[in-house]
Structure 1
Amino acid sequence: MATRTLFTILNHKTKTLTANAILARTRTYCFKSNPVKRNNLHSRINSIGDPSCSVAPVLQQWVKEGKNVNEFQLQPIIRDLRARRRYSHALEVSKWMSSSDLKFSSSDCAVQLDLIGRVHGLRSAENFFCSMKDQDKTVQTYGALLNCYVREGLIDESLSLMKKMREMGFLSSPLNYNNLMCLYTNVGQLEKVPDVLLEMKMNGVSPDMFSYRICINSYGARADYNSMEKVLQEMESQQNIEMDWGTYSVVANHYIKAGLNEKALHYLKECEKKVGKNALGYDHLISMYASLGNLDEMKLLWGLLKAKCKKHTNINYIRMLGSLMKLGELEESEKLLKKWESSCKTYDFRVPNVLLIGYCQKGLVEKAEAVLQDIIKRRKTALPNSWSIVAAGYVNKNNIEKAFECFREALALQAENKDWRPKASLISSILSWLGDNGEVEDAEAFVKLLRTKVPANRDMYHALLKAYIRNGKEVEGLLERMKDDEIGDIEETMKILSLREQRS
């Protein structure tokens, strides 16, 4: 988890990072027991996928059944929930643990502080820290508060806290220096990262793998490749650091972006030597060889991944399919999808969605729809985002009528994925077309369905208003509905109403 998070930030795919990452409001009680997994507390909690549900009843029921619970059971549960970004549930378990008679260490307290910051915000985290007893304010809890400042991108507060931690002797490890380097990376002040590494060494703190990697990235992002290689060589010379695939992949990625393919290939080979049985490493290697257009290496690495890694997840297929589509290898992509379909236990629509996106990007939206229809015939109900992908493809080809039909399918399936959030631009294009071309009944039915997913807004009513006027229907009732829903923008509404006068 640690390496993965860092690699992501170094490739600029997330907005924030804290060094501890390298290493939620009141809930409704809606717990339902799971008879299949009820003998395991961890499984019971994991079975609650809805973030609006509380996990407290699960813990209470566990105790009510006369079963023991201790900190050694709860700590890994909290770690797992954090790793899967179920922060509100993790905080609930942490608070339950701290309010019980169980041992609650300073590390547990630091975890709770970090979770409070994530769920309730920085001010709540600061208040929690201030309310702690002095003996509980340890290097871990100070570090957790620093995480919160870094996550919010607060430089002055972070530096002030670092100064206090230095005075208290709490800067003896690289962790908090790494935090500060991540902060400078997140806010775009990359030139300050090497200074932190230098300060760390001057203060007698030995940099770890992540310290060097963050610094290597800072030079690479600024195209200072000589300095990047010097830091890499220094890192390689450290006896306490075991070089891994992630560092070489960071260097290779910067050379790929710079178009320095020979250099990139050299470090990709170094990366291959270290990847071992790490499926994530193979995923990144395949993706980078795709950037170089090297299909043969991609196939070779895919074969190694399947041979060396015991577990092949849907994510591995998603990334390989994405790389194949990037190279325009449609036939190879279709073959791989069929292989996945023949072996998958649960049909995960995220996998074929990769092909749908690729087809639409290449203007083959009709093929994308045909593939989706075929999957539905052979498998089960699609997810709304699958139809939404095809709808967006039709919008890009300026076939809004077909986009409307596909998006209607997506809305009808929203119960299959409650977290689905349709793109505003797609909705806007379809509403605009409905206003100019649709029948009143179609527009009303669509808006009614859309309102189950998106709050009433101006675009909805203006589309209806245009359809009403174009079809010669009275608009007074519609204007009353607009007023009830507090839809403003009178000027635009008056422009649309003027069309009625022109028609008459």
Structure 2
Amino acid sequence: MISSSKLLSKTQIQNAFFSRFYHTNRVNKSTLHSKISTLGNLKTSVIPELENWVKNGNKVQFADLQQIIHDLRQRKHFTQALEVSEWMNGKGICVFTPVEHAVQLDLIGSVHGSKLKSPYQKMKEMGLASSPLTYNNIMSLYTKLGQYEKVPDVLTEMKENNVFPDNFSYRICINSYGARSDIEGMEKILKEMESKSRIVVDWNTYAIAANFYIKSNLNDKALNALKKAEARLGNEDGTGYNFLISLYASLGNTSEVLRLWNLEKEACKRYINRDYITMLESLVKLGELEEAEKVLKDWESSGNIYNFHVPNRLIIGYCKNGLYEKAEAMLEGLMKKGRVTAPNSWAIVAMGYHHKDQKEKAFKCMMVSVNIKGKGWDPNPKVVTSILNWIGDEGSIQDVEAFVASLRKAMPVSREMYHALIKAYIRNGKEVDQLLNQMKVDKIVEDEETKKLLTMRQK
């Protein structure tokens, strides 16, 4: 088998495995957020915690208080959220914009209910209800909280107060209907928007409508909306082209994807990495891997700065179609050129080989994966365990030690790691006493499988 342990000397491997890693525990630094979030009782006031925080010489950041209010709202701790908002306003920590006023008024309504004047009436009294911005902020707030059903009421109140909705006002409302799969409501707002001479319906609005048509399987209506969106694309609007390309891919329309790709290059003169990523994602979704390969070759000769996310889209496409050899070859080619690759991409290829019962190839790719320096390594635990079982039965001691030593740097030590080593040691006539002692140090308890493996050394 291919010996991936050539990367490390035997002494290095053994030292890496048998060395005990000691880490000082991180001190959990207390934050204002953590102090308030632990106040479980809804009736407990947060004011003492806020006052004590300042009294103890700690700084209070506006962004932190915003996050605390947001989290309390999410947990439906409205009274406590209102206390933080009022305390923040009273202390003059920031100058309240219409957004902060809107949040506070909404909290007042949640805490005190219908006994109070409507938030909009209070906004009028405060001189905050005279422009679309305030209402747009409220609608954006409801959208962010997932309370889409409240958005149309804000638009209605806005018009009743003689404040003219702008493009963004209508778009938020269209989105709120679409998010609730209310296509009829969405179309009603879109027609109203189209009827306003002072409103310019841009490509984004029609693209949003097209997206919801696609989700509702109304493909003919989606195509009509996409044509309207394309007609409104500005020169050099790469973002718009990318959005439409993605939507046509969702419709399974390869010819339109390729047509828009060519139009984009004419309009924008050149493609940036984001454009290539969108196009590759779309072609992979369509199963057009040969076209994707052409696009990748174009990217390689484009002179753009290297970004692994670009070729990785095709690598993922190969894996989705069971072409693991092609995916591995591309990864190896990038590494030979000194290019950065991602551990998870190698892990995905390893998982593919594992499912095809090609254990040696799975081990080789997983070994590369675990030795790549980078964040976000998250392989399938079942695949790791399966490779450990196989290498324990088939691999050399050096291969097993190298793999386990690498795994220990990337994930918590496990019983399966020790079992792989025990099997390899016993197969090669090596004593396992040191392993068993290390297991105890690592607080890994012997189970029935461990005892069964140990009986092998007596045969």
Paired residue for 1:260? 218
Using the size of structure 1 for normalisation, the TM-score is: 0.64
On the 8 A contact 1:443/1:463 being kept in 2, the answer is no
Q: CA deviation at 1:132?
A: 6.1
Cα distance in 1 between the residues matched to 2:416 and 2:308:
32
Cα distance in 1 between the residues matched to 2:103 and 2:343:
36
Larger relative contact order (CA 8 Å, sep ≥ 6): 2
Q: Tell whether 2:400 aligns with 1:470.
A: no
CA pair 200-137 structure 1, distance change in 2 beyond 3 A: farther
Pairing partner for 1:143 from 73, 94, 99:
99
Identical counterparts, % of pairs: 45
- Match of 1:388, as an amino acid? A
Cα distance in 2 between the residues matched to 1:477 and 1:175:
70
Paired residue for 1:308? 267
Q: Tell whether 2:281 aligns with 1:322.
A: yes
Q: Equivalent residue of 2:239, what SS?
A: helix
Paired residue for 1:99? none
Cα distance in 2 between the residues matched to 1:271 and 1:316:
18
Q: Tell whether 2:160 aligns with 1:202.
A: yes
On the 8 A contact 1:290/1:323 being kept in 2, the answer is yes
Paired residue for 1:496? 449
Cα distance in 1 between the residues matched to 2:330 and 2:199:
49
CA pair 380-127 structure 1, distance change in 2 beyond 3 A: same
On the 8 A contact 2:241/2:260 being kept in 1, the answer is yes
Q: CA deviation at 1:495?
A: 3.6
Which residues of 2 match residues 242-257 of structure 1 at below 5 A?
242-257=200-215
Paired residue for 1:430? 384
CA pair 470-377 structure 1, distance change in 2 beyond 3 A: closer
Greater mean deviation of Cα atoms: 288-297 or 267-276: 288-297
Cα distance in 1 between the residues matched to 2:109 and 2:370:
43
Which residues of 2 match residues 447-466 of structure 1 at below 5 A?
447-454=404-411, 456=412, 460-466=413-419
On the 8 A contact 1:251/1:264 being kept in 2, the answer is yes
Structure 2, unpaired ranges of 5+: 1-59, 73-80
Structure 1, unpaired ranges of 5+: 1-108
- Match of 1:371, as an amino acid? M
Q: Equivalent residue of 1:343, what SS?
A: coil
On the 8 A contact 1:197/1:211 being kept in 2, the answer is yes
On the 8 A contact 2:348/2:379 being kept in 1, the answer is no
Aligned residues: 378
On the 8 A contact 1:256/1:292 being kept in 2, the answer is yes
- Match of 1:314, as an amino acid? N
Paired residue for 2:257? 298
Cα distance in 2 between the residues matched to 1:251 and 1:158:
37
Using the size of structure 2 for normalisation, the TM-score is: 0.70
Paired residue for 1:374? 333
- Match of 2:99, as an amino acid? G
On the 8 A contact 1:283/1:320 being kept in 2, the answer is yes
CA pair 406-129 structure 1, distance change in 2 beyond 3 A: farther
Paired residue for 1:394? 353
Cα distance in 1 between the residues matched to 2:348 and 2:108:
37
Q: CA deviation at 1:432?
A: 3.5
On the 8 A contact 1:149/1:157 being kept in 2, the answer is no
Paired residue for 2:314? 355
Q: CA deviation at 1:197?
A: 2.5
Q: CA deviation at 1:424?
A: 4.2
Q: CA RMSD in A?
A: 4.0
- Match of 2:177, as an amino acid? Y
Cα distance in 1 between the residues matched to 2:422 and 2:333:
40
On the 8 A contact 2:132/2:169 being kept in 1, the answer is yes
Cα distance in 2 between the residues matched to 1:502 and 1:204:
86
Structure with higher Rg: it is 2
Greater mean deviation of Cα atoms: 476-485 or 358-367: 476-485
Q: Equivalent residue of 1:243, what SS?
A: coil
On the 8 A contact 2:105/2:119 being kept in 1, the answer is no
On the 8 A contact 2:370/2:407 being kept in 1, the answer is yes
